A and B are shown apart, each in its own frame.
Chain A
Amino acid sequence: MSDLNNMTAAESAATKAAVMNQVPGPEIEGQSPLHHADLASLAKQGPKTSGVHLRELKLLGHLTLRCNPANADQLAAVERVLGVALPLQPLTSSENGNYSIRWMSPDEWLILVPGLETFDIETKFRDEMPGHYSLVNSSGGSTVLELSGENVVELLKKATPIDLHAKSFPVGKVVSTLLAKSTATIRRTGDQRFELVIRRSFSDYIWLWIQDASLEFGLVVEA
C-alpha cells in the first residue's frame, strides 16, 4: 500500500471511505433540532421590530475537513472544489457564495454548504483530494443560528467571555468558545450580525436562553 501522505487524488479516491448521501432528496422532509419550536409560526405571530433578531439556518451541510495546511496540492484541491481557499490564519473564515469555511484548529476547518449539495461536494472532495486527509459529514450534529439587530452584541456579552468589540472581533472572524456554558463557534457576518454553530443536543437550551436573555431588548423570530 502506498504511503498515505503521498497518495495521488486517484489513489485516494480508490481507497474511498464509506460515503453515503445523508440527504436523499428534497422530497424527504428533514427536521432541524429546533423543529419542535416551530420558528416559522412564531415568525408570523411575533413582533416585527426589536433589538434582537433570530433566524435558524437549518439543515445546512456541515463538513469537517482535516488536512495538512503545508500541503500545497491539498490546498489547491480545496480551492478547485469550493472555489475559495482554506483560511489558514487562525480565527478567520472565507466564503464563496453559499460555501463558507471556518478555521477551527491548525489542521481543521468547518465547511457549510447548502444541505442538498452536501453529497455532491463530499464526492468531489473524494475525487480531488490527494494525500492523507479526513472529511466527515457532521451535518446531523449541529445547527446554525443567526443573531442580528442593534442589541445583538449586548445579548452575546451576557453569554461569552470573548471580546466582541469590532476592533478585536471584525467581520469574518471566527472563535470557538463557550456560549451560556454550552459550546459554540461564533462568526461575525456583519457589524450587527453573528452566526452561531451550536450542538444539536444543546439547541433547545440555547433557544430558551436566547428568549430569556433577549427579554429586555425584544426578540423577532425570522423564518
Chain B
Amino acid sequence: MLRINCPFCGIRDEEEFDCGGEAHVTRPENPANLSDDEWSHYLFNKVNTKGILLERWRHTYGCRQWFNMARHTVSHEIIEIYPMGSFPSFNGMNVENVVKEVEA
C-alpha cells in the first residue's frame, strides 16, 4: 500500500488513486498517417523501467485531479510528485533521456 501525497488533498491511501500509466507519452498528431507498427508502438510499447519510472496518477476517489509521479518500481519509493505538463526536478536522473526513451 502506497501513501500518496495528492497535491490538493494531502496524504491519502493508495486505494483512493488510480495509476494512468507512463507519463510524457505524446499522442501522435496524425494517427491516420501512421503505420500499424507505429500506432501499436504508441499504444503498447512502454519503457516499463525496473527502477525510477515516471507515471501519471489520478486521485480518482478524492479530488479527481491528475498529477505525475516519479516512483521506484522495485522499492516503491515515491521520489517526486509534480504537476501535469511539467518535468520532475529531482537530481540523480537524466529526465530528458527518460522522456526520449518513452517517446522513441
Interface size of A in residues (CB-CB distance below 8 Å) = 12
Contact status B8-A105, CB under 8 Å: yes
Q: How far is the CB of B41 from chain A (nearest CB, A)?
A: 34
A80 CA / B64 CA spacing, docked (Å): 28
In the complex, B65 has a CB within 8 A of chain A: yes
Q: Evaluate whether A178 and B8 lie within 8 angstroms (CB atoms) in the complex, with A106-B65, A183-B61 already known.
A: no
Contact status A177-B62, CB under 8 Å: yes
Residues 125-176 of A at the B interface (beta carbon under 8 Å): 161-162, 175-176
Contact status B65-A161, CB under 8 Å: no
In the complex, B63 has a CB within 8 A of chain A: yes
Contact status B9-A91, CB under 8 Å: yes
- Smallest CB gap from A181: residue in B: B15
The number of chain B residues touching the other chain, given as a range, is: 10 to 19
- Chain A residue numbers with a CB within 8 Å of B9 are 90-91, 175
A7 CA / B59 CA spacing, docked (Å): 32
In the complex, A110 has a CB within 8 A of chain B: no
Contact status B64-A178, CB under 8 Å: no
**What 0/1 pattern do residues 30 to 65 of B give for CB contact below 8 A with A?**
000000000000000000000000000000011111
Q: How far is the CB of A34 from chain B (nearest CB, A)?
A: 22
- Chain A residue numbers with a CB within 8 Å of B63 are 90, 104-106, 176
Choose from A105, A162, A175, A177 the contact partner of B65 (Cβ within 8 Å): A105
Contact status B15-A176, CB under 8 Å: no
Contact status A175-B13, CB under 8 Å: no
Residues 53-88 of A at the B interface (beta carbon under 8 Å): none
Q: How far is the CB of B18 from chain A (nearest CB, A)?
A: 12
Q: How far is the CB of A143 from chain B (nearest CB, A)?
A: 18
- Smallest CB gap from A106: residue in B: B8
Q: How far is the CB of B66 from chain A (nearest CB, A)?
A: 11
Contact status A175-B15, CB under 8 Å: no
- Chain B residue numbers with a CB within 8 Å of A106 are 8, 63, 65
- Chain A residue numbers with a CB within 8 Å of B10 are 91
Contact status A176-B62, CB under 8 Å: yes
Q: Evaluate whether A161 and B16 lie within 8 angstroms (CB atoms) in the complex, with A105-B63, A177-B62, A178-B61 already known.
A: yes
Residues 63-98 of B at the A interface (beta carbon under 8 Å): 63-65
- Smallest CB gap from A90: residue in B: B8
Give me the interface of B with A, judged by CB distance under 8 Å: 8-10, 12-13, 15-16, 61-65
Give me the interface of A with B, judged by CB distance under 8 Å: 90-91, 104-106, 161-162, 175-178, 183
| Nearest 4 pairs of A and B residues by beta carbon | A161-B13, A105-B63, A90-B8, A176-B62
